[in-house]
């Protein structure tokens, strides 16, 4: 059957599978440790794990869109930038 009925590509499907895995992981962490220990970050915001995940995903989307709009279609570099951004968000925000 494939993904042609929605005009999806395999990278698009992998992206949504990744998002589902992130949400599943966050659900399991929340069930194991409710509340997620809110903490104050460098921006002065009190954030939980879910907030940091949302900030990371939103920021990564902007990184990819800016890269596609300004540089090229080679997406390995913004992927690396997004991963480093995610590590920084979960560590310091």
Hey, how many other C-beta atoms are within 10 angstroms of the C-beta on 21?
A: 10
Lowest average pLDDT, out of 10-24, 35-49, 72-86, goes to 35-49
pLDDT of residue 81: 95
Helices 49-70, 76-92: inter-axial angle, 10-degree rounding: 150
pLDDT of residue 15: 86
Residue matched to tokens 């991963």: 83
Distance of CA 52 to the CA centre of its chain: 9
CB-CB contact of 89 with 59 (8 Å): yes
pLDDT of residue 9: 78
Per-residue model confidence as pLDDT tens digits over 7-33: 777 877 888 899 999 999 999 988 988
CB-CB contact of 77 with 67 (8 Å): yes
CA distance 35 to 48: 7
Q: Where are the domains of the chain?
A: 1-34, 39-93
């Amino acid at each position: 059957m494939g993904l042609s009925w929605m005009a999806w590509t395999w990278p698009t499907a992998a992206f949504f599978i990744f998002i589902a895995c992130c949400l599943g992981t966050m659900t399991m962490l929340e069930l194991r440790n409710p509340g997620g220990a809110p903490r104050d970050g460098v921006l002065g915001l009190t954030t939980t794990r879910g907030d940091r995940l949302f900030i990371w995903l939103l920021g990564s989307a902007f990184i990819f869109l800016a890269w596609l709009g300004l540089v090229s279609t080679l997406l390995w570099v913004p992927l690396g930038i997004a991963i480093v951004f995610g590590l920084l968000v979960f560590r310091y925000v």
